[in-house]
Amino acid sequence: MSQPVFEKKPMTEEQPSLMARWGAGLADWSEKWFPDAYVFAAIAVAITCLAALAMGRTPNQVAVDYGKSFWNLIPFTMQMAFVVIGGYVVAVSPPVQKLVVWLAQYPKTPKTAVAYVGFVAMIASLLSWGFSMIFAGMLIR
């Protein structure tokens, strides 16, 4: 009498859940079919130019208006840059680094880590959104 042969199945990683597979599929689809942000900006410029032309502005007037108005965005751009740079400076400071290390010890599973980082980022955003972005990125690492 021969004994049955049992094949050893190789240990595999845990199969992703339905939600994880759906999310990955949606992300892949979005990366394939959604254009870059530049395309949306170019389309918005074309729509506003066409709207200005439809309201009676000449092409020369539209071009001059765009040229004058572009430089009005510089102060806002610089403010946003300083918010992000300031957030980075605070987030990489030694006391905040110690806080990140201390906070990173609590989540034990990937799912709780995602929820935990989201929660901590929301709390940090009460101080500054620029700080929150950098802080959350460092906590993820």
* CA–CA separation, 24 and 114 (whole Å): 16
How is residue 73 annotated by DSSP? Answer: G
Answer whether 0.85 is exceeded by the pTM. Answer: no
For residue 3, the model assigns a pLDDT of: 59
For residue 133, the model assigns a pLDDT of: 86
Q: Which tens digit of pLDDT belongs to each residue from 90-115? A: 888 999 889 888 988 988 888 899 99
* CA–CA separation, 81 and 71 (whole Å): 16
For residue 135, the model assigns a pLDDT of: 87
User: Residues 87, 130: contact at Cβ < 8 Å?
Assistant: yes
